[in-house]
A and B are shown apart, each in its own frame.
Chain A
């Protein structure tokens, strides 16, 4: 079955550590996105990628990094520079790779809940 998979579902990080969240899709979608959700807030865009080997900063990119070496994969690294990383992270993909973060018919993963301990 086609879909988008995020792992792990729960992640605990010590202060000062970098952690990487995985996002894989087998939908042959060009565009992929990372969002963050905090309590009482909507989803906020961290990074997006419209094509392999290219990605753009979203609204809250500071303290995060991404790579897009393969069409299927868009991992997100939460670095030690991210001051408040505890949040719920959602990855999404869509076929509209040439229209920026427009999402269109978007598919979402099930999310990763990151907690700093």
Chain B
């Protein structure tokens, strides 16, 4: 994988459903993986930064895992609420000068 890829690009879930989406990134020269949440008409907000293989982070109903050997991270949302509707961006930092590459994002819509 040469770029940061996120899937799916968009997702509709019913309120109360749990969901997850994927970020794939280059595993060579890996430094850090970031997740951001970007609500419409607002600024992206940092959710998690992970650096070690096997890292797991949690913030309320949202959690993330990291596998640096195979180059992927999962973001999980338990019991989705309408206020979770947003675009979730991941960004991978790699290389000696720490180049940051963003994915396109996964647009989540939670239907009440």
* Chain A residues within 8 Å of B, Cβ to Cβ: 4, 35, 40-45, 90, 99-111
Complex: A111 Cα to B44 Cα, angstroms: 10
* Chain B residues within 8 Å of A, Cβ to Cβ: 4, 31-32, 34, 36, 41-46, 49, 89, 91, 93, 97-105
Main secondary structure of the interface of A (DSSP, over half): loop
Closest to B97 in A: A100
Are the C-beta atoms of A43 and B46 separated by less than 8 Å? Answer: no
Are the C-beta atoms of B46 and A105 separated by less than 8 Å? Answer: yes
Contacts of B100 in A (CB 8 A): 45, 101-103
Q: List 11 A-B contacts (CB under 8 A).
A: A35-B102, A42-B105, A45-B100, A101-B97, A101-B100, A103-B91, A106-B44, A106-B46, A107-B43, A108-B45, A110-B42
